[in-house]
Structure 1
Amino acid sequence: MYKTIIMPVDVFEMELSDKAVRHAEFLAQDDGVIHLLHVLPGSASL
């Protein structure tokens, strides 16, 4: 169905992320690629 999927995930909410990954796998079918993206909060400069 889709060739490339960029999917944000939250490692602190793995139950939701697991559901989203399964849905992305369905959307990607056999020949799609899924890229997982996790963004960390910024930290103060020293």
Structure 2
Amino acid sequence: MYKTIIMPVDVFEMALSDKAVRHAEFLAQQDGVIHLLHVLPGSASFTMSRFYRRPAAV
């Protein structure tokens, strides 16, 4: 049905995530690919801070 599915999961809500994974498996059927995505709160600002531009000094 779908070739690629990007699916956010919450490792703190495994029961809900398990249901979502099963549904994604159904949607992907035999030829699809499922990419699982989990975001850690608060980690992006620290890890990605070197990529942000800092305002120029006035």
Same-fold status (TM-score > 0.5): yes
RMSD: 4.4
Change in CA separation of 1:42 and 1:32 when aligned onto 2, cut-off 3 Å: same
Which structure 2 residue ranges, 5 or more long, are not aligned? 45-56
Which structure 1 residue ranges, 5 or more long, are not aligned? none
Per-residue deviation, 1:32: 0.1
Per-residue deviation, 1:5: 0.1
The normalised TM-score by structure 1 is 0.91
The normalised TM-score by structure 2 is 0.73
Per-residue deviation, 1:7: 0.1
- Larger Rg, first or second structure (1 or 2): 2
Quick one: higher RCO (CA 8 Å, sep 6+), 1 or 2? 1
Matched residues in 2 for 1:28 and 1:40: separation? 26
Q: Which runs of 4+ in 1 moved over 3 A?
A: 43-46
Q: Relative to total residues, which structure has the larger strand share, 1 or 2?
A: 1
Aligned residues: 46
